[in-house]
Structure 1
């Protein structure tokens, strides 16, 4: 197989991430053979965006439909003839070599899901190619091979899959079954997708040099604004896989007296 020529970069966005997305779109504008697909997940109408395709997946009463939006983006990309799907969260900027490295990795491992390193930028960080390269410091929780290396993930590493930056061919997407749209709101759908990959024996590869840079924005840890989402999606995950995800956050909520563990699982205290 030759390296894919036609690439779709798929991003999900709502109002609070529009400026982050504009910087991402500017970074991919000059790339040859790239279609930028934005899936708008907000309740309001999307603003004008410099992307080739803009889709809308409105939220559910419980929250944003992130899984459904990724599926919609993949379907549009495949229908448009993309040979490689690159998913990149709206608040992430691709490094200068991200697309090229994912293309080369797909040439070497067309049956795999490909994951590049992610650097979390500090407030006020510059986003030029030189500034990003100088700021490179991959998150230590995940493997980060040297820039021209690939490493196949071992089975215990599958839960380290993060959907903020990954790539796969249309054939591998079809084998994966996509994201489970039962997950609505924040949390759980990434790990569910990773467990599906593991169950279906789809290889996961760590791609050195495919750097993505997460732009700073305020967060809380644990994410109190997503407490009910985490309980709801965690229960869906537990029914499917027999264990709860996001246990670090749940234990932090429990330490604060907000949730407790019962025989049936985690519930509000």
Structure 2
């Protein structure tokens, strides 16, 4: 059976429709739940890394993966900037405690590859430290894999034009403005520095036992589906037998009576109320200026 959406058959230039995306995503969510059950049943350990430029779509892809699974089994790790103590440690030390135990899937939203990317480009480490990292990382990943972890590394590749569109959208969208930091603006300026850093990172850490998988992410929906399918193909999961679930009968109320208590219910807002009463003061001022 060919699972390729109709839009994909017509060429990559056609954007994937929301209807086709949601239909395929629903099916893939079912497969992720099957994978989750197998991970718990078998005691498998899975570690997935997501890397890419700002605006490449890492966060949205991770949300699509974890939307219908248990956060106790699928753990997302997005570490903040290292503390002074962590800076004094061996570089990989802060990441190792987050690696999966049996029955866990750990997803890194940026990982130890920060050293080969943002830290290098922004001057947060020395070139000597970068080269030490690039030399040591395949050895560390070999040890991680030898310990029984299934390690999968993704790089989301966004075009310059699409990154510009997404970052500009963050400026005017109150839901996304928190995503735009001075660091993002500086990294945007250094596009080609990041390209050089990416290429050397691939050259020295793309190994037979721990390869990099690159996904084009200008079409967010198609990229998410592509990555989920690929992830499922890299995990040797099987369907685990499920017991048929039947809800039991509730016990009778007995002598219990609903209390006459003045509950503080949350008031139901009329549709559009908040939009009318909580407009941005900046936009009000700009509107009146016209």
TM-score band, normalised by shorter chain: under 0.3
Give the TM-score normalised by the residue count of structure 1. Answer: 0.25
Structure number with bigger Rg: 2
- Structure with more helix by fraction: 2
Larger relative contact order (Cα-Cα within 8 Å, sequence gap ≥ 6): 2
Q: Of Structure 1 and Structure 2, which has the larger fraction of its residues in strand?
A: 1
After TM superposition, the score normalised by the length of structure 2 is 0.23
